[in-house]
């Protein structure tokens, strides 16, 4: 990378700085397939096509922007990217940084006269945060078959709308969604640049590092059965705690 790369990333981030801004919470609220997130998806496709990348949306809603090798072979591609959806009141860099930095990397490598020996793809995964339907990494789970597609399509948001309904409204065909072995065979390696959201890099005095492990993303719903009562005055013998 060169000194121009940070400026390129900053310029790309500035272009989307007002999309999905949450005036009440602060930060950004960009649920998957909301107006804000769809606007960002369109922004990404436009930026990719401006660079001559071949942008396509697969049957699971993942956007792929291809920088092809001279051979045209897309097997064992080097894939990078992230997501554009957010949690309620999320940070500006959570997800979009990985997308913008990938576009900037293409700019810099091309400016240096480079061309990949293997295909390079920038991927944008839908519903990474899980803030709308309650399951994180939903787009990649469907792509890899880590969740039954019937279960995914039946998930509902807080307004009762299903993932199937919102996917269809976004231009997808829910009947075609599910594990995609042909697409998975195109992935030779995947790397994501992501904001740390901690202070590890500060303590190390470093601008970037490679994570050696990560917490598996999951959510659990627990039901406790008991009897509510005053915590201070209820006798122990009268308590029916779970």
Place of tokens 């009947």: 175
pLDDT at 1 over 80: no
Q: What's the pLDDT tens digit per position in 229-240?
A: 898 999 999 998
Q: pLDDT tens, 153-191? A: 999 999 999 999 999 999 999 999 999 999 999 999 999
- Can you give the pLDDT at residue 195? 93
Please tell me the predicted confidence (pLDDT) of residue 4. Answer: 58
Q: What are phi and psi of 189, to 5 degrees?
A: -160, 150
Residues 141-157 have a mean pLDDT of 98
> Which residue matches tokens 């919470």?
25
Q: Per-residue pLDDT for 66 more than 60?
A: yes
User: Domains along the chain?
Assistant: 4-215 (3.40.630.10)
Distances (CA, A) of 105 to 46, 122, 223: 17, 10, 47
């Amino acid at each position: 990378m060169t000194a121009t790369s940070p400026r390129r990333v900053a310029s790309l981030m500035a272009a989307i700085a007002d999309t999905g801004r949450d005036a009440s919470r602060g930060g950004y609220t960009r649920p998957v397939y909301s107006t804000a997130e769809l606007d960002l998806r369109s922004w990404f496709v436009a930026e990719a096509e401006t660079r001559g990348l071949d942008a396509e949306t697969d049957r699971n809603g993942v956007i792929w922007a291809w920088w092809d090798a001279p051979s045209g072979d897309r097997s064992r591609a080097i894939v990078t990217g992230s997501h554009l959806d957010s949690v309620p009141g999320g940070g500006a860099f959570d997800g979009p940084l990985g997308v913008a930095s990938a576009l900037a990397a293409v700019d810099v490598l091309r400016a240096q006269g480079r061309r990949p020996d293997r295909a390079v793809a920038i991927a944008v995964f839908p519903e990474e945060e899980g803030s709308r339907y309650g399951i994180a990494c939903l787009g990649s789970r469907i792509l890899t078959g880590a969740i039954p597609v019937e279960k995914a399509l039946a998930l509902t948001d807080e307004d009762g709308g299903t993932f199937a309904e919102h996917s269809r409204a976004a231009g997808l065909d829910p009947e075609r969604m599910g594990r995609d072995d042909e697409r998975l065979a195109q992935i030779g390696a995947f790397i994501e640049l992501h904001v740390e959201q901690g202070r590890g890099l500060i303590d190390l005095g470093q601008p970037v590092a490679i994570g050696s492990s990560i917490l598996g993303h999951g959510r659990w719903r627990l039901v406790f059965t008991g009897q509510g009562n005053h915590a201070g005055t209820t006798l122990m013998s009268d308590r029916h705690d779970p």
